[in-house]
Amino acid sequence: VALDEGLKKTKEGFFSKITKVIAGKDKVDEEVLDELETALVSADVGIGTTVEIIRRIEERVAKDKYVGASELNRLLQESIMSVLTDAPGNEFETFELPADKKPYVLLVVGVNGVGKTTTIGKLAHNFKKAGKSVVLGAADTFRAAAVDQLTIWSERVGVPIVKKEMGSDPSSVAFDAVQSAIARDADIVIIDTAGRLHNKAHLMEELSKIRRVIAKKMPDAPHEVLLVLDGSTGQNALEQARQFTAATDITALAVTKLDGTAKGGVVLAIANQFKIPVKYIGVGEKMEDLQIFNKEEFVDSLFS
C-alpha cells in the first residue's frame, strides 16, 4: 500500500477537522488557534505535541503580524514539519545494516496484538530483499500461537527460524538465535519477545535477562531494541510507549496499522515525545506493507 493510500483515513479525519476550523475565518487569531488546538488533539496528535505545534504557529503569526486564514494550512504544515525535524530519526533511507555489527541483533518488543509478528515478518522480507541473510528467533515462548505465527512468516519469507518448545526460557532461545546467526554468518537476527505489559517487573526482568544473555555471545548486542506500537489505538499507543520506555532501553519505534485508521496523527506525537526515532511504519498486512518512516514524506502525504 502506498503511503498516500495508507494514510487516506487519517488524512480525511485530520483535514476535515482543520478545514472546519479555517472555514469562514479571515485571520488567525486566538480563537482560531484555540480551535486548531482542539482539532489537533482530537486528531490524536497528543497534548504535548499539539501545544508545541501551536506555539510555533503563534511565533510565526506574531512575527508576520497579519496572517490570513488561507495561510494557516501552510503554516500548520511548516510547524508540524519543524517539530518533526527537531525529533530524532530519518537517519537511514533503505534497509541497510552497519558493517561493523554482524550479525546485527534486533530485539523486538511490544504488547500482543500490536502487529509485532507481522512487523518481524515484514522486516525479514525487506532485509532479505536488500540482499541480507536473516535469522529469526522465537523468544516469545509463552504463547504457542506466537511461535506458530513466526514460523509461518519464516516459511513465507524463506528465512531460518530458531525456536524451542513452549515455556522454554526466552533468553535461551535468544542466545541460540544469536549463536545460530553467528554460525551461519548471517547479517541480521530478529528476535521476537513476549509483550506482557500487565506485569512491569516481570517484563523488565525478562528483557534484562535476554539482554544479558545476548551480550554474553556478543558484547555490544542487542544493537537495536524496536518497540512496536499499534497506531490505530491512538493514545493507547502513547501510553504503551511510556510504559515500555520506563521498563527498558528502547532505541527505535515502529508504528503499525496506519492504514484503516483515522488516528495516524499519533505518529506525530510518538515521534516528538519520546526522543526515540520512529524507524518504520506499517500500512497493511502484506510483507511489502512496511515502510521506512520518512518525516517529509509523511507530512507531505497528510497535506497533499
- Given the rule CB under 6 A, which residues bind ligand GDP? 110, 112-118, 149, 256-257, 259-260, 282-285, 289
Q: Is 44 annotated as contributing to ligand binding?
A: no
Q: What is the nearest approach in angstroms of ligand GDP to the Cβ of residue 248?
A: 17
Q: Is 192 annotated as contributing to ligand binding?
A: yes
Of residues 46 and 195, the one with the C-beta less far from ligand GDP: 195
**For cell 497535506, what's the residue?**
303
Q: What is the nearest approach in angstroms of ligand GDP to the Cβ of residue 281?
A: 8
Of residues 102 and 263, the one with the C-beta less far from ligand GDP: 263
- Can you give the length of the chain in residues? 304
H or E element: which one contains 227? strand 224-230
Q: Is 114 annotated as contributing to ligand binding?
A: yes
**For cell 534486533, what's the residue?**
106
Q: What is the nearest approach in angstroms of ligand GDP to the Cβ of residue 114?
A: 4
Of residues 6 and 52, the one with the C-beta less far from ligand GDP: 6
Is 115 in contact with 253 (CB distance < 8 Å)?
no
DSSP 262: S
Q: What is the nearest approach in angstroms of ligand GDP to the Cβ of residue 82?
A: 28
Q: Is 196 annotated as contributing to ligand binding?
A: yes
Strand partners, 188: 104, 134
β-pairing, 134-139 vs 252-256, is unpaired
For residue 98, say if its preceding peptide bond is cis, omega within 30 degrees of 0: no
Q: What is the nearest approach in angstroms of ligand GDP to the Cβ of residue 249?
A: 20
**For cell 486528531, what's the residue?**
43
Of residues 176 and 289, the one with the C-beta less far from ligand GDP: 289
Q: Is 111 annotated as contributing to ligand binding?
A: yes
**Cα atoms in the Cβ-side hemisphere of radius 13 Å centred on 149:** 20
C-alpha cell at 71: 495561510
Residue nearest to ligand GDP (CB): 282
Q: Which among 173, 303, 195 has a CA at the least distance from the CA of 254?
A: 195
Q: Is 113 annotated as contributing to ligand binding?
A: yes
Is 259 in contact with 284 (CB distance < 8 Å)?
yes
Q: Is 265 annotated as contributing to ligand binding?
A: no
Of residues 61 and 290, the one with the C-beta less far from ligand GDP: 290
Binding residues for GTP: 110-117, 192-196, 256-259
Binding residues: 110-117, 192-196, 256-259
